[in-house]
Chain A
């Protein structure tokens, strides 16, 4: 998929919760490039103290009719705090689309479970919509420490059934996503997951034990996003270092050293 460097205009900024910003971007020069859920964008952060590198942000939603690309940003450091404070009308310099997205070949009628934690739920919205448009049935299993960590629930509910766990029992079932009763009650043909690494590893172990295909979207620290700097590596099943930005960020979890 061809990559571009584009100045995208911020159409609107929403703050779904304290510390999170939803940036709705458009391309005034033409239609947004071809891209698939699971791919990401390297965003240039201007006027931020100590910030030198771009910030990789996953694609939250692709709205073709509105020619909009949504990015969900969690303000955790100086770079993302600066993005959090972006205003409508500002421009963001973006390199996109980067990496390989989620599986696009599930047959219609299959049931796919999308498991997310924290801001890692962001790309699952785009992916759920993508699957639904193609006759695949997505369900969402979303986890957080507390109800306030779960974002965009109204949008997820428009796409498929939503199952929730929170560690403090403030919403859904108490505990971790891998403890949710839906995992015993229903059968899924495949699982895709994005969120904190320990959560994804637990999901991968569950899928492995059940013999279900599982893919995970990683967010290792990276510089270039293009496979040039070799900083964002993860060990694959053969023990070789592979770039998350180029070979991933989405990996079949059987291709990683996550089973032990």
Chain B
């Protein structure tokens, strides 16, 4: 058994496998299939200061090797999380991380500071990259200045591990990563979904209620890997890699590209027990290759 433990800022993970926000509910939805404590951590759905209904139906379109969604950050607000959901999660022996979203700097800061008060949430993932909300998230995440402004403000209100989730819908993701590192982010996670479309030619309409959506699944993996590799060379903080990971091989690719930890997203919809299979698969690969510690292969890629 190889050593699987990794660190992201002050956060210790028992293994590098986490789940991507918006694909794993509050974890509880998957408790019949896996032992949540076997995960390095899981990231609960995007949480905003005030409740959000999200976008209208239809919100999903299947694509070759993936899917588009335009859920639009539907959630019941941070106070609902703190009062109703947190008590069900606080006893877990894994890292429960909250994905924090917003549409104004003030909302981000207030939401993050309320999460800061929860002793058993050791980190937040700051979502500055949701493509499905007007004036929200991605508006900040597409320029280095915008990204830096949110991270600077939240950093002052949040003293635990701060992971910033980056948008791939930018010209240079490495520049954005450098900007958030400079403002005190402990880590960056990437990539969020790629903006896309799908059209029903008989109805001459988009298959998504707001026209566009975020693309996820194995179809985005090559793009995600490339971006993880580019960001690895640009920053010194640890990277959390995600984008189309379906199995342990995919996860190891991200780790070799430079990710210290990974998130599994859309694959949870196909196999609700995939996370544990990836943990076991990474361990098996390391053992088979005589690697004693997963950290030895982080960023080992030779081009």
Q: Which residues of B contact A50 (CB under 8 A)?
A: 62, 64
Decide yes or no: A230 and B64 within 8 Å by CB, A95-B272, A241-B54 being known contacts.
Answer: no
List, sorted by A's number, 17 A–B pairs whose CB atoms are closer than 8 Å: A3-B32, A5-B272, A5-B273, A52-B64, A52-B67, A52-B270, A221-B57, A223-B67, A223-B266, A224-B269, A230-B71, A231-B71, A232-B57, A232-B60, A233-B74, A241-B53, A246-B29
Asked if B66 is at the interface (CB within 8 A of a chain A CB), the reply is yes
Within 8 A of A (CB), among B17-34: 22-25, 29-30, 32-33
User: Interface residue count for B (Cβ, 8 Å)?
Assistant: 32
Asked if B287 is at the interface (CB within 8 A of a chain A CB), the reply is no
Shortest Cβ distance from A3 into B: residue: B32
CA distance A220 to B61 in the complex (A): 12
Judge whether A4 and B32 touch: CB under 8 Å.
Answer: yes
Judge whether A224 and B268 touch: CB under 8 Å.
Answer: yes
Decide yes or no: A52 and B60 within 8 Å by CB, A5-B271, A227-B25 being known contacts.
Answer: no
Judge whether A234 and B270 touch: CB under 8 Å.
Answer: no
Asked if A190 is at the interface (CB within 8 A of a chain B CB), the reply is no
Judge whether B60 and A222 touch: CB under 8 Å.
Answer: yes
CA distance A44 to B64 in the complex (A): 15
Interface on chain A toward B: helix, strand, loop, or mixed SS? loop
Judge whether A226 and B63 touch: CB under 8 Å.
Answer: no
Judge whether B269 and A53 touch: CB under 8 Å.
Answer: yes
Q: Per a CB cutoff under 8 Å, which of A226, A231, A239 touches B60?
A: A231
Give the number of residue pairs across the A-B interface with Cβ within 8 Å. 92
Decide yes or no: A52 and B66 within 8 Å by CB, A5-B33, A5-B272 being known contacts.
Answer: yes
Interface residues of B (CB under 8 A from A): 22-25, 29-30, 32-33, 45, 53-54, 57-60, 62-67, 69, 71, 74, 217, 266, 268-273
Asked if A210 is at the interface (CB within 8 A of a chain B CB), the reply is no
Q: A220-B58, A224-B272 are in contact. List 20 more A-B contacts (CB 8 A).
A: A3-B272, A44-B271, A51-B62, A52-B62, A52-B64, A52-B67, A52-B270, A53-B270, A54-B269, A223-B67, A224-B23, A226-B272, A227-B25, A228-B30, A228-B45, A230-B22, A233-B54, A233-B57, A239-B53, A241-B74
Q: Per a CB cutoff under 8 Å, which of B33, B57, B62, B74 touches A53?
A: B62
Asked if A2 is at the interface (CB within 8 A of a chain B CB), the reply is yes
Asked if A229 is at the interface (CB within 8 A of a chain B CB), the reply is yes
Q: Which residues of B contact A241 (CB under 8 A)?
A: 53-54, 57, 74
CA distance A223 to B66 in the complex (A): 11
Q: Which residues of A contact B273 (CB under 8 A)?
A: 5
Shortest Cβ distance from B273 into A: residue: A5
Q: Which residues of B contact A64 (CB under 8 A)?
A: none
CA distance A117 to B244 in the complex (A): 38
CA distance A124 to B271 in the complex (A): 28
- A-B pairs, 4 with minimum CB distance: A231-B60, A228-B25, A224-B269, A3-B32
CA distance A51 to B67 in the complex (A): 10
CA distance A2 to B270 in the complex (A): 18
CA distance A221 to B68 in the complex (A): 12
